[in-house]
Amino acid sequence: MKLVFLYGSPAVGKLTVAKELEKITDYKIFHNHVTLNLVKEYVKKLSRVFRTSEKVRLVMFDSMAKEAEGLIFTYCYSKPEDDWFVKEVINVLKKNKSEVCFVHLKTSKEELMKRVNNNSRKKYNKIRTRKKLDENLKKHKFVEIGFVNNLVIDNTSVKAKDTALKIKKHFKL
């Protein structure tokens, strides 16, 4: 299986790009907010919500690696607190003779501030205000993962469809 690991800051367009990539690859999307919202229903302490959600994701990756040709995963990687999770994803996929294709999406702060107000963000309980986004950007280091090979795409002025095509071509999906 090939796992396309789309990551970047909130409002960078991960899910939008994932939807376009799904159309041209037939890979299913595993959106990070699906597990977050599921776990939040049962676990109230925020620190446990994230850890539990990541464990659920790892179990899903292990299972999907045995069945699927490919999967598209969206994630907000923050250094250094998410390093353990990325390493575990790599280990789970390697154990299953599968590959992780890392794609770092980035865009200008000005564009992030425009995108954060998009109505599509409401469905998954995502950050939807400039104030919350700004707080989040100051609190976390949404940077490139330094210990993996990345395809880095600045999608400030690139359409999601074109970004998806670039990913498909680069990784031969």
What is the structure's pLDDT at 40?
87
| Angle (CA) 46 48 49, round 5° | 60
> How much is the pLDDT for 126?
74
Three-class DSSP category at 152: strand
pLDDT digits (tens, 9 = 90+) for 81-118: 999 999 999 999 999 999 999 999 999 999 998 988 77
State the pLDDT at residue 94.
97
Cα distances (Å, whole numbers) of residue 47 to 30, 39, 82, 140: 22, 11, 13, 15
Sites in the chain below the pLDDT cut of 50: none
Domain boundaries, the chain: 2-171
For the structural domain made of 2-171, what CATH number should be given?
A: 3.40.50.300
> What pLDDT does 44 receive?
87
